[in-house]
Amino acid sequence: MSARAGVVVIDGYCGVCARSADLLVRLDRRAHLTIVPSQELGALDRYGLTPGQVAASVWFLPRPADGGRGGGRTARPVGGARAVGAALDTALGIRLFEPIAGAPLLGRVIERGYRWVAANRRRLPGATPWCHRVDTCAEPA
């Protein structure tokens, strides 16, 4: 069985999102994550996400670590706090944070905290936004 891997779709013009993505990259010693700004040209079509989905939250799209060549099924994409948990689990090679974020009671509390951060993300301190580091993003609206 191959290890889990995935794509993390972030708001490329968000500093706190960039800081979080930088942390994921540092934790991901096996290079199982790919970070993609939602504003990257063609990203929404490529990953089957809508503008409303990516405006509301981060997304994690699981894929087999072998890129799908092994015939493994891909799980459903997850957004919000569960996406953060899935990305952390994938980066660290464990299964801990996503189940906690998906738990009935605790998961609701975590999701509520995530929603507050997401709603205020452009006001929170962070790193240089991802789209200011690459030239593949569309200009913000």
For residue 1, the model assigns a pLDDT of 38
With b for 16 or more beta-carbon neighbours within 10 A and e for fewer, the 104-121 pattern comes to eeebeebbeebeebbeeb
| pLDDT tens-digit series, residues 59-111 | 999 986 555 554 455 578 999 999 999 999 999 999 999 999 999 999 999 99
Return contacts of 69-73, CB within 8 angstroms, 24+ apart.
70/2, 72/1, 72/2
Q: What is the pLDDT of residue 141?
A: 66
In the numeric block, the tokens 């989905």 are attached to 53
User: What's the mean pLDDT in 121-137?
Assistant: 91
Q: Domain residue spans in the chain?
A: 4-131
pLDDT of residue 68: 53
pTM listed for this prediction: 0.89
**More confidently predicted of 110 and 141:** 110
